[in-house]
Structure 1
């Protein structure tokens, strides 16, 4: 045997492996026959100098991921640049399994196997990188992955990943229950007890965390008390003397939750928690205050405390302990208010007071108090208690702000009525006409009996007077247009939601007392003032009024709130010449038909209507008086059936003197409206 050759062969058969020693990389010579072990989930990687994965690997090592780009170079020392192959394998625990995505990119070929079954096959000599994703369902437990890669020629790169699919619509697999759960009891400040839990790591790759549940022993109901991504958890339950059990559940990124771990416990707690507060009720009669209260589940006895309401600084008087839930205070003085509270305590002497409730011995107050709010006030009604010993009533009223404060005053209760309802009970009512609109008030009623004893007030009722006390804002856009037959006013509609109408005033000056000239329905925003066109300067005011009659008013030489005003000069159609008035007076009336009635009044004059008169009408175009009658009129009035429409018309009449001269009346006007289209 050639010894030299054997030494050479043995030396060539060794492999160089990098190992860590003291934080530094050192070189260790390992026999080629020794197995390379890689801890899951690290891959074991083998390099072959051929494309068939045959023979002894040229190199074996561990690889945490399959993600390489060797370009056109050799993947490792001793391997060719082309026609080589690499194999990665690992066996790992997939927990409960579930849907996964196998994603590859490669140049040249790659095949992926799950437990020996091929799942991905991209096996071709190519000049560009190929990519592919395959969805795979993996069962629970341990499984083996194998990745085979081959490079024939040219550039070499390869990557492979396996990731859980965590969409809730895809992943319906619950994680496995946590294992290795243990617990211990820990005593804290004040002797409180805390449960300290721990458990082993779950194998799921898509694990999101753990949820801890607690159960009061014997109830069978689990309630979640916390969530963590760690593997320990501490919880201090209510220290009520109750024992508690715990369990841990895993949940994944899709929201699936495992069954619980084995129950941990029981953890016993001391009783440091007081009973729930009893709910106290006080019912007052003429002779006593009767107390009753609820009994919390773990209360074993109660004590009653009393003091006068009017003496807030006095000490509470304590009454003997009782196991009952009622007590009658027969020593309470009629008409005096007392405060009461009840102390409940359990067997460990943990205790809680009820809320303070007041009571005052009283005759029965009025019953069934109600209130309605017509537009004119608040109608308060109540039923008289049985016994028919009432000699008087008082109705109380208070503003009712949201903070609950009350300032009671006696209401001026008018329009009183007394009726009998269907049951035969006597019903009283009265009306409070006072109070502001839009304000909420509380009402209560007291009664006096034949012994001059006043009852406590009835339970209050709340009512809100409808409406408000605020005038609508001033109208805007008010304009005035002078016409031959008057003034047209126009304005923007009021924005007030409760608008009812508009009032139109004529006010010569800002400080003069305005005179109402008309009212306009709230559905319109214009007005026609039928006035003679005689050239006068006018000033008008328009005021919005709501359904509650709120409106600006004129007081102390000014308006109580802003109003809209407009000034306008009328057109002047008046005659430029008027004869001296030496005969009868004249009254001219525009009729609804459009005609004008000319009516002279000759009382006390030397003329009478039957003496005959002529009628003249002013023609503004020619600036002259035009006689309208051919022969004298001897009737008491004359109708101008040809009066021009839509203008101001002036008339006068004349009588003939004995010497043949004319004696004229005064001139008077009539305003005619435009003819209908």
Structure 2
């Protein structure tokens, strides 16, 4: 800022370094063509207060802050003169600014030709005004007009951005001119960009992201216009961008992304989970796979030099090789390398001696099937390793304890050749054991171990708990009732107290004169329907029958039908038979009947025709018995087929839970009919 001064007529050149709106300033004689570099003001002196005519002098002024006690320059009066300052500059993103003007006498301030401050009068004291304005982004012109009418002359003007976060919500413009150059020799990326035009600039933030990722990593905040980064040399591509930050903390959008691609000089990560132990085959070394690894290199520490010596390069994550079966220690490390040969760091070391102290893997997938006379156990083991162990003295042991868990001192089950494989899959073998020595109706828990030839015992397999069979038949049912229906008799009983019942058998018969029952038919329910009732399907022809129901458990135990404790119930069937009896056909046509166990399907009934008369039949007429009208009513007709003696017909209108009786006659070519066939079909409504 220029200090208060008195101008002289002498042409002088002043050089000053300024910040925040002031730059290198050159004061130029009036006789020369004047060009002032923004943001330096162009200043003009007029010998009047109307700024008319040609300026007496034009020069450049870095700041408006002057006072004069006489004529400011030669050729101007000491009173009634004017001075005009103007500058056109880039305001960047613009935003909130404060314009501050003070003068003795008059001052006016314009932005792009629009008056913003007007203190235009002759005063004896200094007048001051501050005004907050918002200046749009881009280039704008400021003009300050000052006049002195009489007396001393003073003038001062500043324009400054408002930088508090509560006021300034305007983001800076994104930096321009961003460039990135990568040096493959040094591995450094040099970033440069053009200085921002923002007046309230605080600095720049440099960001980097991996190609294919949307996450930016902030690398630094700087006030410079360059930055050098050393990205990971992984062979991947990265993008850089620069963002401007103002004093209110507003961050601009990013500059144009600048890509670079690094060479791959980075090896994979160190392998984790590295272990060493001796087993049947020697020293077993294992580790976890490493991403990006194309192979691994195994090292053993030399006792003589205490340095690591390469043992082998390999592509998998385990290695077994022979070592003496002694207590001498062996220490190993492993590292990964990628397809370009870049090696990663070493794993943590693993140390073991040559003695096999490693228990085999536990048998897996133990399962059991309980039969009436045995408990059959099955388990799996890896095919190759179990075969090697068993060939070198290993054996399985089946353990058993009473109760729902395997106790601390379980019994050993005497199996017949449990070490002989009975099958399995491609990668595993299956073994079995049949336990024949157990107590009836007892809960046992089983487990299996594998002991190798060195006496190392595996963990116990997953256990399995079973309850052995019993020889006790379910107790007699109670509350047995019989309800006649049109499709048979529904038998019902109370909920049984036994919990292992798997089905029921119902019997139907006639009571003889001596009081005993001659059983005629039986029906079995395997537990698919109502567990406390079943339908004894039969033709409801009015018979009085005796019924009994016996429960079966999962071990096939049941009471004998002759057991006096088996309950019976007597019921008389409904009589739905038609006037013409069934099972009494004597002509060339005769019918058949029966029932199917499904409640959903419509099952066809059938009839047959035998003899020469069948050749003369052209049509069969079908009627169905209506129990309400007590008459056969026409249902359908079926064309006779040459050479066909057996016919099937599905009555799609047959009611559920009913027995339907049918009458079929053959119609000859002369219109006469044969004697009738009497077919029937029961469509049961199962319970």
TM-score bracket relative to the smaller structure: 0.3 to 0.5
Task: Give the TM-score normalised by structure 2.
Answer: 0.46
Task: Give the TM-score normalised by structure 1.
Answer: 0.47
